[in-house]
Structure 1
Amino acid sequence: MKWTGRFQGYHAGAFRKDLISGCIVGIVAIPLGMAFAIASGVKPEYGLYTTIIAGILISLLGGSKFQIGGPTGAFIPILLAIVMQYGYENLLIAGFLAGIMLVLMGLFKLGTLIKFIPKPVTIGFTAGIAITIFSGQIGNYLGLTGVQRHEYFYDNMREIVLRLPTLNFYSVITACICLAALILTPKYLPKVPASLIGIILSTLFAALLFPDKVTTIGSAYGTIPGGLPTFHPISLTWNNIAPMLQPALIIALLGSIESLLSAVVADSMTETKHNSNRELIGQGIANIITPLFGGIPATGAIARTATNIRNGAVSPFSGIIHGIVVLLVVVLFAPYASDIPLASMAPILMMVAWNMSERKAFVKILKTRTSDSIILLVTFLLTVFSTLTIAVEVGLGLAILLFLKRMSEMLTVNKVLPDHSSSKQKVHAHIVTKEHDCPQISIFTVDGPLFFGASQTFENSSSLMRDGQHLQVIIIRMGNVPFMDLTGEANFANVVKRLQRAGITVFITGIRLQPRRLLSKTGCLTRIGEDHVFEHTGDALDQALGIIHYDKCLSCRHFAFRECTKLSGGEITQHKPALQANSSSTLLSKA
């Protein structure tokens, strides 16, 4: 699809729908943009600038027709931590670097890889972020004064407890009015933005009934300047870039996850399909340009994207219009926003935290009481009590380790024999007993991937293959080995070498394409011998029965194969036995 393909067949009727949805989403985005900026530790106008610039660019260049971009709640903990540790100017550098990383991720087609991040990790840090956002607004909700921001949850909670004597009942009343509007508006006026109603009502009540009794945006951060965003140069020296690489990577990863999740939600609501790599490129370009005007990192916003779709959006023009609407409001009415109480912003962010908490999915995974539950809890607790960076790193690391453990447990090596009671002569492990086992021919079935995580399992199982002083041939059935890495190949090759040194002939059957190619490249296949590699187990058994010592078959009463009756009685003495039509090897030829 070309970059302009999303606008094909566009007409005046579609533009009217985009205009309506764009205006509505723009109105919704204004209080959210300011709230997210304040919660991230920067001035509210920077949130508005992000909504304008990133919102327009993400819609124009992204891979989803309906995506609405801008500042989001998911970024709040990481952005606040960066601002507290490095300052606002370095936050802009981190956002700029994250934009470059996102573009590279898109260019290298890494968009599809995001889906491989385990669900317990994403739900764990999302729920942890929700707790962080919610708890961070308690001070504003209660109107506490002198509250200092800290990096860690425990310190912030301790700060709130220490400042409880400064509780402002006027702020609590203001916040409760806004919260009531947020809860009731969707029930009685579902098409009206609840956050806008909540801010207007609570601001009017505070201004009319108890003026100058609550902290406002203006009194806390100064008057919001009107006019267009101005160019804000950033200092891209190596001394500034180096310490921001890790924060930038976290921003890029979190932004890619959030934007692609939002795009998937849009796909499910509209029965369309987004281009994940193009979406990352669009997000990256937006995050490169936005910091140059003072904006903070942006990504796809799930709630605003859903609002955009529900109000009839047809194309990316709705997202562009949403950015233009916010721009017009900033140019014409920005100073009036300075009168909004901080207590009015708190319930909005608390509601955002509640909606993004993934509480149902969280409880569902916990109830499974599996390794996924452990990953979920560890990621969640580290997000809340440590940092998002550590939480994501540990969560992913733990998920990988537990996955490797599960994969290693999948590998089994079983000694098998044909089941004579079955008409199809399928091989089974339970057929093998001390009284029923061929002393000269052993058949082993390997099930599962042969990789570094399973190397110990295969090494331990390989001792079974060397049992028996009369053993002449080993048939290794590899039809159920989907993958082999170099560690697995090395262990496999070592087993083959030890068997061959002991004078045992090794046959391989049913080997798949990837393991066969690897064995061929490393020379292991040459060592085994191409003529010792068979498609079917029955063919290998035919060959094996032709090279065993028949004198050792005399008086043998194991009868592992159908041929054993004649061999034990000395009826077959030529080099290769003439097999009956219903012999084991014939019936196994398709096994």
Structure 2
Amino acid sequence: MFSAFKKSLHNKPSSPEIQANVLAGLTVGVIALPLSMALAIASGVPPQHGLYTAMVAGIVIALTGGSKVNISGPTAAFVVILLPIVQKFGIGGLLVSGMMAGLILILMGIGKLGRLIEIVPYPVTVGFTAGIGVVIGTFQIKDFLGLNIESMGGHYLDKLSLIFHALPSINWQETLIGALTLAVLLIWPRFRSKVPGHLVALLLGSLAAWLLSRAVSDFSVATIGSRFHFEIKGVIGNGIPPILPSFEWPWNLPGADGNPIGLSFNLVRLLFPSAITIAILGALESLLCAVVADGMSGKKHNPNDELIGQGIGNLLVPLFGGIPATAAIARTAANIKAGGTLPLSSVVHGLFILIGILLLAPLLSYIPMSSMAALLLIVAWNMSEAKHFIRTIKIAPREDVFVLIACFLLTVLFDMTVAVAVGMGLAAVLFIRRTISLTHTSAIESSREAYDLPDHTVIYDINGPLFFGSAQKALKTISTVQPDVRIVILDMSEVTMLDMSAIVAMESIANDLSARNIGLIINNLQPRMILKLRRAGIRKRIGKVAFSRSLEDGFGAARKMLKENNPGLES
């Protein structure tokens, strides 16, 4: 905890480095200001909550996390999770679930789960990120075209149906401004300018809307100022309140019915699945961002400290009206490219947002909603990673393609909670299936001549881990030995794991062979696994069970056991 901040202080950065990080923070602040508002709107809350998130999370997580260069704030990945929470539980329920996710992230960091990103299969990640992109993009059609839809409730197909039936109500004024903004967003990267394209696009979109409203009498488009309102000490204003966020317990904020949501065990129980999803997705997004940042900056992050930092940030952000936050890959990449090397750049980025709230709030109110929708369409496209999605379908094994499509469809048609749970479950099942195929048991015939093995003895070579998925498959062959066999040698030199299911299977085999007067010799099993068998009662028994350190020792034990149990048989 606080590792990035401590190291930056210990290394005593030079004046040029401080200057570079201040400039990088200002650059990222320019990018984050409109993007934070757009993501808050997409999540179903007023735009100032996105700004509060970027400001508080950007500063707190930078000082407590495990990465020097990560920039945290609201991200597109959270939109499909947060929007249903807002619709069902209101802003109060959303912020309570954010606090719960913060506690979960802290526990994950304390529990050393910082390597979480390494166990999430690539098809799962690509599947749900592509699904998120599709959902975000679909939800922007309403504002982009100015469709007359009162409420976008229901599941994805319900919302898609509402959009389809509302297409005749397309507003050409909204569509014109949205198309202009989208065109600038698509064309601007070709100029390779250091000025962020979305800043230029929103500025031109807002300017065009304002000029046309002055030149054309009936020209009017929805803006942040006309869509959102606030009340300060009985005075009602439009757009974003030009004041700093104040401390407020999240459960005192309104729920879906407009009344304070309160705090109860029932509310916590209802929000817990969403909090788990927010925490897992936040952890994955942050750790993935940190890995990408390490590759770009040459630095090394501490994954467990990063989880703790993200948890602290998400625990504090709701107290000041902020929605759940995580590290943002695009903003982090921009930070590194602009010269950011210290947490200072993220702190400056947060302070820039703060100044923007105080000084630019009246101007931000002029931004058209169709322009914000155009910006989110680009965010959705980048989020979908269409190239990676198509490439995975083309080259991945059939099982991975199935997981990819399943995660994609579940994200789109249901929600992220279902998609992540089922996706990880499918990936785990496929992993177990593939691991089972690596474990096998085979009789060794060549050793008979090489070691002068007695005729009534058989050797089985067991390869791979023995766990609940592979134990029965690997060991069932042993229970079907020929009637003339009196000694069974299990060569377990290449057994790397032994779980309780395998121990029970071994115990069953030992008892079965003993009942048939067949001796069992376990060869070259690792000492820690022998200890497990002994605890289960599989111990050395004269004439029944023996352990050997090599095949030669095992063959000697077999001859001895054969004479003890069956003195009439000839070797």
Report if TM-score (shorter chain) is over 0.5: yes
- CA displacement at 1:460 relative to structure 2: 2.8
The 1:3/1:312 distance shift into structure 2, 3 A limit, reads: closer
SS of the residue 2:52 aligns to: helix
* Mapped pair 1:48 → 2:51: yes
**Distance across 1 between alignment mates of 2:136 and 2:448:** 67
Alignment of 1:248-397 (within 5 A): 248-367=275-394, 368-397=396-425
Residue by residue, what CA displacement relative to the aligned partner does 1:122-165 show, whole Å, maximum 9, x if unpaired?
11111100100111111111111224212421111111111111
Q: Which moved more, 1:211-220 or 1:486-495?
A: 211-220
- Structure 1: 5+ residue runs without aligned partners? 428-435, 555-566, 568-591
* Mapped pair 1:495 → 2:502: no
* Mapped pair 1:233 → 2:246: no
Residue by residue, what CA displacement relative to the aligned partner does 1:235-275 show, whole Å, maximum 9, x if unpaired?
23324322111111111111111111111110111121101
* Mapped pair 1:69 → 2:72: yes
1:123 alignment partner, one of 123, 126, 136: 126
Q: Which moved more, 1:350-359 or 1:270-279?
A: 350-359
**Distance across 2 between alignment mates of 1:298 and 1:537:** 59
**Distance across 1 between alignment mates of 2:83 and 2:569:** 79
- CA displacement at 1:3 relative to structure 2: 5.0
* Higher radius of gyration, 1 or 2: 1
- CA displacement at 1:499 relative to structure 2: 1.1
- Structure 2: 5+ residue runs without aligned partners? 230-238, 252-262
The 1:546/1:97 distance shift into structure 2, 3 A limit, reads: closer
* Mapped pair 1:246 → 2:273: yes
The 1:50/1:516 distance shift into structure 2, 3 A limit, reads: same
**Distance across 2 between alignment mates of 1:233 and 1:548:** 77
Aligned 8 A contact 1:496 1:528 in 2 = no
* Mapped pair 1:442 → 2:458: yes
- CA displacement at 1:45 relative to structure 2: 0.6
* Mapped pair 1:507 → 2:514: no
* Mapped pair 1:156 → 2:172: no
**Distance across 1 between alignment mates of 2:502 and 2:510:** 12
**Distance across 1 between alignment mates of 2:482 and 2:548:** 23
SS of the residue 2:18 aligns to: helix
- CA displacement at 1:437 relative to structure 2: 9.7
Residue by residue, what CA displacement relative to the aligned partner does 1:465-518 show, whole Å, maximum 9, x if unpaired?
x3223x222111001211011111011111012112222221111212442231
Structure 2 length normalisation: TM-score?
0.90
One-letter amino acid of the counterpart of residue 224, structure 2: I
2:482 alignment partner, one of 463, 467, 470: 467
**Distance across 2 between alignment mates of 1:2 and 1:69:** 14
Q: Which residue of 2 aligns with 1:557?
A: none
Q: Which residue of 2 aligns with 1:5?
A: 7
Aligned 8 A contact 1:67 1:319 in 2 = yes
- CA displacement at 1:375 relative to structure 2: 1.1
Q: Which residue of 2 aligns with 1:138?
A: 141
- CA displacement at 1:85 relative to structure 2: 1.3
One-letter amino acid of the counterpart of residue 151, structure 2: Q
Q: Which residue of 1 aligns with 2:235?
A: none
Question: % of aligned pairs identical?
Answer: 39
2:445 alignment partner, one of 391, 404, 417: 417
**Distance across 1 between alignment mates of 2:55 and 2:455:** 79
Residue by residue, what CA displacement relative to the aligned partner does 1:180-205 show, whole Å, maximum 9, x if unpaired?
22122222143111111000011101
Alignment of 1:85-104 (within 5 A): 85-104=88-107
If asked which structure has higher relative contact order (CA below 8 Å, sep 6+), I would say 2
**Distance across 2 between alignment mates of 1:483 and 1:420:** 28
One-letter amino acid of the counterpart of residue 478, structure 1: M
Q: Which residue of 2 aligns with 1:219?
A: 226
- RMSD of aligned residue pairs (Cα, Å): 2.2
Structure 1 length normalisation: TM-score?
0.87
Q: Which moved more, 1:35-44 or 1:352-361?
A: 352-361
One-letter amino acid of the counterpart of residue 145, structure 1: N
**Distance across 2 between alignment mates of 1:315 and 1:89:** 34
**Distance across 2 between alignment mates of 1:265 and 1:147:** 41
Give aligned pairs, total: 541
Residue by residue, what CA displacement relative to the aligned partner does 1:73-101 show, whole Å, maximum 9, x if unpaired?
00001100101111111111001111111
Q: Which residue of 2 aligns with 1:571?
A: none
**Distance across 1 between alignment mates of 2:506 and 2:278:** 43
Q: Which moved more, 1:497-506 or 1:94-103?
A: 497-506
**Distance across 2 between alignment mates of 1:6 and 1:277:** 18
- CA displacement at 1:214 relative to structure 2: 1.1
Q: Which moved more, 1:380-389 or 1:403-412?
A: 403-412
SS of the residue 2:470 aligns to: helix
One-letter amino acid of the counterpart of residue 113, structure 1: L
**Distance across 1 between alignment mates of 2:364 and 2:241:** 10
Aligned 8 A contact 1:107 1:277 in 2 = yes
